[in-house]
Amino acid sequence: MRRRAAASLLGCLLVASGCSAPTATDAATGAIEHTLDQRADALLDRDESGYLAAVDPAADALLAAERRTYRNLVDVPVRSWEYEVRDVERSGMHATARVELRYRMEDYDSAPVTSARTMELTERDGRWYVTADRPGEGGVQQLWQQGAVDVVHGRRSLILGVGQDNDRLREIAAAADRAVPAVDEAWPGEWSGRVVVLVPESVESMAGLLGATTTSYRGIAAVTTGETRQQEGSSPADRVIVNPDAYSILGDFGRRVVLTHETTHVATRADTSKATPMWLSEGFSDWVAYRDTSPVDGQAAPELERSLRGGNLPAALPEDGDFAFDAKADELARAYEGGRLACELIAERWGESKLTDFYRAVGEHEKREGAVEDAMNEVLSVTPDEFGGLWRDYMRERLR
């Protein structure tokens, strides 16, 4: 926005008759940007007083909250931190700004994490001060707003936890460090080769980080945040968020599977788009997670085995809605097992390289319609109906 403002000013200097005076809102926008730029610089410089200088001195509650936030953040390895002002609505000495917070972790993020914020500001003696700062539309709570953040550095992982025992965070780092090379072996695509894991204090805190209800995630051990690719070459940074309650009851094998599955989502994000169906994205991540295991380790699909014994083998690949976290446990398990066995079929019949080629080919489509059909034809030389028949035959053979 500053570059656009500079270009506009240059136009005024060159062709004075063609430019009008800036509006009060335009002037406020520039001043608000300046206040937030100073706040961001102070955070990166570890300057607490400079960070708090952006807050209205009369806003006691906000000052206290921002002081806690700053101190919770002080050990987090933030490399960049900036606010992009999207628009400002001004009314006299007051303004409401729609802002996008963008930040990156040192050595981990090649793209920023983004979070929508809504800020209210007041002008005093020609300067704008923040009087309220809350999540904007689609925005969520940040980990450091939940408490002091403990930081554990793994070899290829960064673990950020609140209210967690340090030994638990180190155990998660060790599991994540094992997951990354496992994903590297299965996914030849370019990715950072590192993963950031957030471990909140409770499932309620996890829901706050996701902007969701607690019931949606109570039985889910971990999820990966992030948006699918919006345009060629774009992929925002991901975060794996652990549900400490569900994760703690898993054994070593289960924890390894969970973190490898979620790390696969991080690795494949740049090649995942709105055209990618859930059976493929979730099935591929599960396939990677179970790739080097034996049936004794739990590679068999127990819910689909039950369906096969009852004569109710699925007639079609799982729909996206089958993967809803609030679905019944057995239905959700069948969806994941069905997607994994579809990917396993491709890897065994056509080869692992064809499986990754197929994943990318689907994600390259601009829309869902026709994506799977075209990729099956181009990469596997089969129609969806033919593949469906092969998949059902494979399940009968694999699960009998």
Q: Is there a contact between 157 and 200 (Cβ–Cβ < 8 Å)?
A: no
Q: Which two tokens stand for residue 284?
A: 């591929």
Say which amino acid occupies 296: V
CATH class of 273-400: mainly alpha
CATH topology of domain 22-139: Nuclear Transport Factor 2; Chain: A, (3.10.450)
Pick the closest to residue 108 from 143, 137, 73, 78 (CA basis).
78
**Cα 48 from Cα 55, distance rounded (Å):** 12
List all residues 6 or more positions away from 56 whose beta carbon is below 8 Å from its beta carbon: 62, 121, 122, 124, 129, 130, 131
Q: pLDDT of the chain along its 400 residues, tens only?
A: 333 333 333 333 333 334 444 556 678 999 999 999 999 999 999 999 999 999 999 999 999 999 999 999 999 999 999 999 999 999 999 999 999 999 999 999 988 999 999 999 999 988 999 999 999 998 889 999 999 999 999 999 999 999 999 999 999 999 999 999 999 999 998 898 999 999 999 999 999 999 888 887 888 999 998 765 444 444 567 899 999 999 999 999 999 999 999 999 999 999 999 999 999 999 999 999 999 886 544 456 889 988 888 888 899 999 999 998 878 888 999 999 999 999 999 999 999 999 999 999 999 998 999 999 999 999 999 999 999 999 999 999 988 7
Rounded (5°) CA angle 295-320-218: 70
Rounded (5°) CA angle 380-384-388: 100
The 10 Å CB-count burial string (b at 16+, else e) for 170-191 is: eebbbbbbbbbebbeebbeeeb
- Using only C-alpha atoms, the chain has a radius of gyration, in whole angstroms, of 25
**Per-domain residue ranges for the chain?**
22-139, 144-269, 273-400
CATH topology of domain 144-269: Zincin-like (3.30.2010)
List all residues 6 or more positions away from 124 whose beta carbon is below 8 Å from its beta carbon: 56, 93
C-alpha atoms less than 13 angstroms from C-alpha of 326 in its C-beta half-sphere:
5
> What is the secondary structure of 53-122 as a DSSP string?
TTB-TT-HHHHHHHHHHHHHHTTS-EEEEEEEEEEEEEETTEEEEEEEEEEEETTT-SS-EEEEEEEEEE
Q: What is the pTM of this model?
A: 0.88
DSSP 364: T
Strands 94-105 and 78-91: antiparallel
